[in-house]
Amino acid sequence: MQKRIAILGSTGSIGTQALDVISNSPESFEVEVLTARNNADLLIEQSMRFAPNVVVIGNEDHYEKVKDALVHYPIKVYCGDESISQVVAFDSVDMVLTAMVGFSGLKPTIEAIRAGKEIALANKETLVVAGKLIMEEAARKRVNIIPVDSEHSALFQSLVGEGRNEIEKLILTASGGPFRGRGLDFLENVTPEEALSHPNWSMGPKISIDSATLMNKGLEVIEARWLFGVTPGQIEVVVHPQSIIHSLVQFIDGSIKAQMGLPDMHLPIQYAFSYPERLKSNFERFSFTDYPELTFEQPDTKIFRNLAISYEVLKRGGNWPCIMNAANEVAVEAFLAKKIGFLGIPDVIENTLEKSSFIKAPVLEDYFKSDLQARRVAKEQI
Protein backbone atom coordinates (compact mmCIF):
# COMPACT_ATOMS: atom_id res chain seq x y z
CA MET A 1 0.00 0.00 0.00
CA GLN A 2 1.05 3.57 -0.61
CA LYS A 3 1.94 5.59 2.45
CA ARG A 4 -0.27 8.69 2.52
CA ILE A 5 1.77 11.73 3.51
CA ALA A 6 0.86 15.18 4.78
CA ILE A 7 3.55 17.73 3.95
CA LEU A 8 3.47 20.77 6.24
CA GLY A 9 5.45 23.46 4.43
CA SER A 10 5.29 21.99 0.93
CA THR A 11 6.59 25.13 -0.82
CA GLY A 12 9.85 25.34 1.15
CA SER A 13 13.15 23.64 0.40
CA ILE A 14 12.36 20.41 2.29
CA GLY A 15 8.77 20.33 1.06
CA THR A 16 9.66 20.65 -2.62
CA GLN A 17 12.35 17.98 -2.31
CA ALA A 18 9.87 15.71 -0.50
CA LEU A 19 7.57 16.02 -3.50
CA ASP A 20 10.49 15.02 -5.74
CA VAL A 21 10.91 11.88 -3.63
CA ILE A 22 7.21 11.08 -3.87
CA SER A 23 7.12 11.63 -7.64
CA ASN A 24 10.08 9.24 -8.03
CA SER A 25 8.32 6.51 -5.99
CA PRO A 26 4.60 6.82 -6.78
CA GLU A 27 4.06 3.15 -6.01
CA SER A 28 5.23 3.74 -2.42
CA PHE A 29 4.00 7.23 -1.50
CA GLU A 30 0.96 9.39 -2.08
CA VAL A 31 0.37 13.07 -1.27
CA GLU A 32 -2.62 13.43 1.05
CA VAL A 33 -2.18 16.97 2.43
CA LEU A 34 -0.20 20.02 1.32
CA THR A 35 0.16 23.18 3.38
CA ALA A 36 1.98 26.47 2.86
CA ARG A 37 2.13 29.78 4.66
CA ASN A 38 2.30 32.43 1.92
CA ASN A 39 3.40 30.94 -1.40
CA ALA A 40 -0.06 30.51 -2.88
CA ASP A 41 1.15 30.26 -6.50
CA LEU A 42 3.47 27.33 -5.86
CA LEU A 43 0.91 25.65 -3.59
CA ILE A 44 -1.65 25.83 -6.40
CA GLU A 45 0.86 24.42 -8.90
CA GLN A 46 1.75 21.55 -6.53
CA SER A 47 -1.91 20.82 -5.87
CA MET A 48 -2.73 20.59 -9.56
CA ARG A 49 0.16 18.20 -10.11
CA PHE A 50 -0.15 15.92 -7.07
CA ALA A 51 -3.94 16.09 -6.46
CA PRO A 52 -3.92 15.91 -2.65
CA ASN A 53 -7.15 15.36 -0.78
CA VAL A 54 -6.63 18.52 1.30
CA VAL A 55 -4.78 21.83 0.86
CA VAL A 56 -4.28 24.49 3.54
CA ILE A 57 -2.96 28.02 3.00
CA GLY A 58 -1.85 29.44 6.34
CA ASN A 59 -2.22 33.10 5.40
CA GLU A 60 -5.98 33.63 5.20
CA ASP A 61 -5.48 36.57 2.80
CA HIS A 62 -4.64 34.03 0.07
CA TYR A 63 -7.58 31.71 0.71
CA GLU A 64 -9.85 32.95 -2.07
CA LYS A 65 -7.02 32.81 -4.61
CA VAL A 66 -6.20 29.19 -3.79
CA LYS A 67 -9.84 28.16 -3.55
CA ASP A 68 -10.76 29.74 -6.89
CA ALA A 69 -7.76 28.20 -8.66
CA LEU A 70 -8.68 24.70 -7.44
CA VAL A 71 -12.44 25.00 -7.76
CA HIS A 72 -12.59 22.41 -10.56
CA TYR A 73 -10.37 19.91 -8.73
CA PRO A 74 -11.61 17.38 -6.13
CA ILE A 75 -9.49 19.07 -3.45
CA LYS A 76 -10.71 20.43 -0.12
CA VAL A 77 -9.23 23.89 0.54
CA TYR A 78 -8.88 25.35 4.04
CA CYS A 79 -7.01 28.29 5.55
CA GLY A 80 -5.43 29.41 8.79
CA ASP A 81 -3.03 27.95 11.35
CA GLU A 82 -5.80 26.13 13.20
CA SER A 83 -6.72 24.23 10.04
CA ILE A 84 -3.11 23.04 9.69
CA SER A 85 -3.28 21.61 13.21
CA GLN A 86 -6.59 19.90 12.41
CA VAL A 87 -5.84 18.26 9.06
CA VAL A 88 -2.86 16.31 10.44
CA ALA A 89 -5.31 14.25 12.49
CA PHE A 90 -7.39 13.10 9.49
CA ASP A 91 -7.80 9.32 9.26
CA SER A 92 -6.51 9.41 5.68
CA VAL A 93 -3.03 10.56 6.81
CA ASP A 94 -0.38 7.93 7.60
CA MET A 95 2.70 10.15 8.08
CA VAL A 96 3.23 13.85 8.69
CA LEU A 97 6.32 15.60 7.36
CA THR A 98 6.79 18.70 9.50
CA ALA A 99 8.77 20.98 7.20
CA MET A 100 7.43 24.27 8.53
CA VAL A 101 10.10 26.72 9.68
CA GLY A 102 10.34 27.88 13.27
CA PHE A 103 8.00 27.86 16.26
CA SER A 104 4.95 27.52 13.99
CA GLY A 105 5.65 23.81 13.64
CA LEU A 106 5.12 23.04 17.33
CA LYS A 107 1.32 22.86 17.56
CA PRO A 108 0.63 20.78 14.40
CA THR A 109 3.40 18.36 15.40
CA ILE A 110 1.82 17.86 18.81
CA GLU A 111 -1.62 17.36 17.25
CA ALA A 112 -0.21 14.82 14.79
CA ILE A 113 1.44 12.86 17.61
CA ARG A 114 -1.76 12.91 19.65
CA ALA A 115 -3.57 11.52 16.61
CA GLY A 116 -1.05 8.67 16.45
CA LYS A 117 0.58 9.74 13.18
CA GLU A 118 4.13 8.77 12.30
CA ILE A 119 6.33 11.89 12.20
CA ALA A 120 9.07 12.72 9.70
CA LEU A 121 10.63 15.62 11.58
CA ALA A 122 12.30 18.41 9.63
CA ASN A 123 11.19 21.20 11.98
CA LYS A 124 14.00 21.15 14.54
CA GLU A 125 12.48 24.02 16.53
CA THR A 126 9.73 21.68 17.76
CA LEU A 127 12.21 19.68 19.84
CA VAL A 128 14.29 22.73 20.69
CA VAL A 129 11.29 24.47 22.25
CA ALA A 130 9.49 21.53 23.88
CA GLY A 131 11.67 18.45 23.49
CA LYS A 132 10.78 16.79 26.78
CA LEU A 133 7.05 17.24 26.23
CA ILE A 134 7.19 16.05 22.61
CA MET A 135 9.20 12.90 23.33
CA GLU A 136 7.03 11.97 26.32
CA GLU A 137 3.88 12.38 24.22
CA ALA A 138 5.39 10.34 21.38
CA ALA A 139 6.30 7.55 23.82
CA ARG A 140 2.82 7.60 25.32
CA LYS A 141 1.20 7.35 21.89
CA ARG A 142 3.86 4.92 20.60
CA VAL A 143 4.57 7.22 17.69
CA ASN A 144 7.81 7.01 15.71
CA ILE A 145 9.66 10.30 15.25
CA ILE A 146 12.07 9.85 12.36
CA PRO A 147 14.48 12.76 11.84
CA VAL A 148 14.87 14.32 8.40
CA ASP A 149 17.74 16.74 9.10
CA SER A 150 20.80 15.22 7.44
CA GLU A 151 22.75 15.19 10.73
CA HIS A 152 20.05 13.55 12.82
CA SER A 153 19.15 11.16 10.02
CA ALA A 154 22.82 10.13 9.97
CA LEU A 155 22.76 9.50 13.73
CA PHE A 156 19.47 7.62 13.44
CA GLN A 157 20.80 5.44 10.61
CA SER A 158 24.01 4.75 12.52
CA LEU A 159 22.01 3.57 15.53
CA VAL A 160 19.74 1.17 13.64
CA GLY A 161 20.53 -2.36 14.80
CA GLU A 162 22.50 -1.21 17.83
CA GLY A 163 19.66 -1.98 20.26
CA ARG A 164 20.76 -1.36 23.82
CA ASN A 165 24.43 -0.72 23.00
CA GLU A 166 25.50 2.31 25.00
CA ILE A 167 26.38 5.59 23.30
CA GLU A 168 29.52 7.35 24.47
CA LYS A 169 28.95 10.46 22.40
CA LEU A 170 27.25 11.85 19.32
CA ILE A 171 29.34 13.89 16.87
CA LEU A 172 27.42 16.39 14.78
CA THR A 173 29.23 17.68 11.72
CA ALA A 174 28.93 21.27 10.51
CA SER A 175 30.04 22.72 7.20
CA GLY A 176 31.14 25.91 8.94
CA GLY A 177 28.89 27.97 6.69
CA PRO A 178 29.97 30.72 4.28
CA PHE A 179 32.12 32.53 6.89
CA ARG A 180 34.24 29.68 8.23
CA GLY A 181 37.61 31.04 9.33
CA ARG A 182 36.55 34.67 9.16
CA GLY A 183 37.22 37.12 12.00
CA LEU A 184 35.03 39.66 13.78
CA ASP A 185 36.27 42.55 11.62
CA PHE A 186 35.01 40.80 8.51
CA LEU A 187 31.72 39.63 10.05
CA GLU A 188 30.88 43.11 11.25
CA ASN A 189 30.10 44.22 7.71
CA VAL A 190 28.69 41.12 5.99
CA THR A 191 25.43 41.49 4.10
CA PRO A 192 22.38 39.21 4.10
CA GLU A 193 23.17 38.31 0.51
CA GLU A 194 26.62 37.06 1.51
CA ALA A 195 25.21 35.14 4.49
CA LEU A 196 22.64 33.40 2.27
CA SER A 197 25.35 31.93 0.01
CA HIS A 198 25.91 28.54 1.63
CA PRO A 199 28.88 26.63 0.16
CA ASN A 200 27.26 23.16 0.12
CA TRP A 201 23.52 23.17 0.79
CA SER A 202 20.51 24.79 -0.85
CA MET A 203 18.21 25.95 1.95
CA GLY A 204 15.61 28.58 2.77
CA PRO A 205 16.68 32.03 4.05
CA LYS A 206 16.06 31.38 7.78
CA ILE A 207 18.04 28.13 7.85
CA SER A 208 20.79 29.61 5.68
CA ILE A 209 21.34 32.48 8.13
CA ASP A 210 21.24 30.04 11.06
CA SER A 211 23.92 28.02 9.31
CA ALA A 212 26.08 31.12 8.84
CA THR A 213 25.83 32.00 12.57
CA LEU A 214 26.16 28.33 13.68
CA MET A 215 22.78 28.69 15.40
CA ASN A 216 21.57 25.89 13.16
CA LYS A 217 24.14 23.62 14.76
CA GLY A 218 23.16 24.84 18.22
CA LEU A 219 19.53 23.97 17.52
CA GLU A 220 20.66 20.56 16.29
CA VAL A 221 22.57 19.94 19.52
CA ILE A 222 19.39 20.54 21.52
CA GLU A 223 17.34 18.43 19.11
CA ALA A 224 19.84 15.55 19.38
CA ARG A 225 19.65 15.64 23.17
CA TRP A 226 15.92 14.83 23.03
CA LEU A 227 15.86 12.54 20.01
CA PHE A 228 18.55 10.22 21.31
CA GLY A 229 18.25 10.63 25.09
CA VAL A 230 21.82 11.78 25.75
CA THR A 231 23.24 14.51 27.99
CA PRO A 232 24.66 17.81 26.68
CA GLY A 233 28.15 16.56 27.54
CA GLN A 234 27.69 13.64 25.16
CA ILE A 235 27.15 15.86 22.10
CA GLU A 236 30.15 17.21 20.20
CA VAL A 237 30.26 19.46 17.16
CA VAL A 238 33.06 19.25 14.60
CA VAL A 239 33.43 21.37 11.47
CA HIS A 240 33.66 19.25 8.32
CA PRO A 241 33.74 21.62 5.32
CA GLN A 242 33.06 18.98 2.66
CA SER A 243 29.70 17.92 4.22
CA ILE A 244 30.21 14.28 3.22
CA ILE A 245 30.14 12.68 6.68
CA HIS A 246 26.78 13.82 7.96
CA SER A 247 27.30 12.80 11.61
CA LEU A 248 28.80 10.04 13.73
CA VAL A 249 28.05 7.90 16.77
CA GLN A 250 30.81 6.78 19.13
CA PHE A 251 30.01 3.79 21.33
CA ILE A 252 31.46 2.89 24.73
CA ASP A 253 33.97 0.49 23.14
CA GLY A 254 35.42 3.38 21.14
CA SER A 255 33.99 2.25 17.81
CA ILE A 256 32.56 5.00 15.59
CA LYS A 257 29.80 4.60 13.01
CA ALA A 258 29.12 7.31 10.45
CA GLN A 259 26.68 7.88 7.61
CA MET A 260 28.16 9.38 4.46
CA GLY A 261 26.84 10.76 1.22
CA LEU A 262 26.66 13.81 -0.98
CA PRO A 263 25.01 16.94 0.51
CA ASP A 264 21.54 16.21 -0.82
CA MET A 265 18.37 16.18 1.29
CA HIS A 266 16.48 13.78 -1.00
CA LEU A 267 18.13 10.75 0.61
CA PRO A 268 17.26 11.50 4.29
CA ILE A 269 13.73 12.47 3.24
CA GLN A 270 13.23 9.20 1.39
CA TYR A 271 14.74 7.23 4.27
CA ALA A 272 12.30 8.85 6.72
CA PHE A 273 9.37 8.06 4.41
CA SER A 274 10.36 4.43 3.78
CA TYR A 275 11.85 3.45 7.17
CA PRO A 276 12.61 0.70 8.11
CA GLU A 277 13.04 -0.23 4.43
CA ARG A 278 15.49 1.32 1.98
CA LEU A 279 14.13 2.03 -1.47
CA LYS A 280 16.10 2.03 -4.68
CA SER A 281 16.85 5.56 -5.87
CA ASN A 282 18.44 7.38 -8.78
CA PHE A 283 20.20 9.90 -6.49
CA GLU A 284 23.75 10.84 -7.47
CA ARG A 285 26.30 8.51 -5.90
CA PHE A 286 29.30 9.57 -3.80
CA SER A 287 32.78 8.72 -5.08
CA PHE A 288 35.90 8.82 -2.90
CA THR A 289 37.97 9.82 -5.90
CA ASP A 290 35.96 13.04 -6.14
CA TYR A 291 36.79 13.83 -2.50
CA PRO A 292 40.39 12.71 -1.88
CA GLU A 293 40.50 14.70 1.37
CA LEU A 294 37.97 14.91 4.18
CA THR A 295 38.99 17.46 6.81
CA PHE A 296 37.83 18.31 10.32
CA GLU A 297 38.36 21.18 12.75
CA GLN A 298 36.95 22.59 15.96
CA PRO A 299 34.23 25.28 15.72
CA ASP A 300 35.21 28.76 16.89
CA THR A 301 32.59 29.51 19.53
CA LYS A 302 34.18 32.85 20.41
CA ILE A 303 33.55 34.16 16.91
CA PHE A 304 30.31 32.22 16.35
CA ARG A 305 28.76 32.73 19.77
CA ASN A 306 25.39 31.19 18.96
CA LEU A 307 26.75 27.67 19.34
CA ALA A 308 28.09 28.42 22.82
CA ILE A 309 24.80 30.10 23.75
CA SER A 310 22.91 26.99 22.66
CA TYR A 311 24.96 24.73 24.94
CA GLU A 312 24.36 27.03 27.91
CA VAL A 313 20.64 27.18 27.16
CA LEU A 314 20.45 23.39 26.91
CA LYS A 315 22.23 22.96 30.24
CA ARG A 316 19.89 25.36 32.05
CA GLY A 317 16.80 23.88 30.41
CA GLY A 318 13.29 24.99 31.33
CA ASN A 319 11.88 27.52 28.88
CA TRP A 320 15.30 28.92 27.97
CA PRO A 321 15.52 27.02 24.65
CA CYS A 322 12.09 28.43 23.77
CA ILE A 323 13.24 31.97 24.58
CA MET A 324 16.46 31.54 22.60
CA ASN A 325 14.59 30.21 19.58
CA ALA A 326 12.09 33.08 19.57
CA ALA A 327 14.81 35.69 19.96
CA ASN A 328 16.80 34.11 17.14
CA GLU A 329 13.81 34.10 14.78
CA VAL A 330 13.25 37.81 15.45
CA ALA A 331 16.95 38.62 15.09
CA VAL A 332 17.35 36.70 11.83
CA GLU A 333 14.31 38.45 10.38
CA ALA A 334 15.78 41.80 11.41
CA PHE A 335 19.16 40.94 9.86
CA LEU A 336 17.52 39.92 6.58
CA ALA A 337 15.67 43.25 6.61
CA LYS A 338 19.02 45.01 7.26
CA LYS A 339 17.84 46.43 10.60
CA ILE A 340 20.73 44.89 12.53
CA GLY A 341 24.18 43.60 11.60
CA PHE A 342 25.32 39.99 11.50
CA LEU A 343 27.04 40.27 14.88
CA GLY A 344 23.90 41.81 16.35
CA ILE A 345 22.09 38.45 16.16
CA PRO A 346 23.78 36.85 19.21
CA ASP A 347 23.53 40.20 21.06
CA VAL A 348 19.75 40.18 20.66
CA ILE A 349 19.56 36.55 21.82
CA GLU A 350 21.71 37.08 24.93
CA ASN A 351 19.85 40.22 25.95
CA THR A 352 16.48 38.54 25.45
CA LEU A 353 17.52 35.59 27.62
CA GLU A 354 18.62 38.00 30.33
CA LYS A 355 15.38 40.01 30.27
CA SER A 356 12.80 37.20 29.88
CA SER A 357 11.11 35.22 32.64
CA PHE A 358 12.66 31.82 33.39
CA ILE A 359 10.34 28.86 34.02
CA LYS A 360 12.07 25.74 35.32
CA ALA A 361 9.31 23.20 34.52
CA PRO A 362 7.11 24.66 31.76
CA VAL A 363 3.89 23.09 30.52
CA LEU A 364 2.63 23.48 26.97
CA GLU A 365 0.86 26.80 27.57
CA ASP A 366 4.06 28.22 29.09
CA TYR A 367 5.90 27.69 25.82
CA PHE A 368 3.39 29.80 23.89
CA LYS A 369 3.55 32.55 26.54
CA SER A 370 7.36 32.44 26.64
CA ASP A 371 7.55 32.64 22.86
CA LEU A 372 5.34 35.74 22.78
CA GLN A 373 7.24 37.44 25.61
CA ALA A 374 10.64 36.68 24.07
CA ARG A 375 9.58 38.04 20.70
CA ARG A 376 8.37 41.24 22.32
CA VAL A 377 11.61 41.65 24.29
CA ALA A 378 13.73 40.92 21.20
CA LYS A 379 11.84 43.41 19.04
CA GLU A 380 12.30 46.13 21.67
CA GLN A 381 16.06 45.90 21.08
CA ILE A 382 15.86 46.33 17.29
pLDDT digits (tens, 9 = 90+) for 106-149: 999 999 999 999 999 999 889 999 999 999 999 999 999 999 99
User: Please, are residues 335 and 298 in contact by the beta-carbon 8 Å criterion?
Assistant: no
Integer CA distances (angstroms), 97 to 53, 162, 349, in order: 16, 26, 29
State whether residue 313 is helix, strand or coil.
Answer: helix
Beta bridge partners of 297: 239
Integer CA distances (angstroms), 168 to 71, 138, 153, 235, 257, in order: 56, 25, 18, 9, 12
pLDDT digits (tens, 9 = 90+) for 243-285: 999 999 999 999 999 999 999 999 999 999 999 999 999 999 9
**Neighbour-count burial of 86, counting CB atoms closer than 10 A to its CB (0-12 exposed, 13-18 middle, 19+ buried):** middle
For residue 257, the one-letter residue type is K
Supply the pLDDT for residue 201: 66
**How many Cβ atoms from other residues are within 10 Å of residue 38's Cβ?**
13
How far apart are the C-alpha atoms of 222 and 195, rounded to whole Å?
A: 23
Detail the DSSP E strand segments found in the chain.
Answer: 3-8, 29-36, 54-57, 76-79, 95-98, 118-121, 145-147, 167-174, 235-239, 245-251, 256-260
Q: Which among 293, 309, 292 is positioned nearest to 301, based on CA atoms? A: 309
pLDDT digits (tens, 9 = 90+) for 166-212: 999 999 999 999 999 999 999 999 999 999 987 776 678 898 999 99
| Cis bond upstream, residue 268 (ω within 30) | no
Give the domains, in start order, of the chain with CATH numbers: 3-147 (3.40.50.720), 153-263+296-316 (no CATH)
How far apart are the C-alpha atoms of 37 and 47, rounded to whole Å?
A: 14
Task: Enter the pTM of the model.
Answer: 0.93
Q: Collect all residues with Cβ–Cβ distance below 8 Å to 298 and sequence separation of at least 6.
A: 238, 239
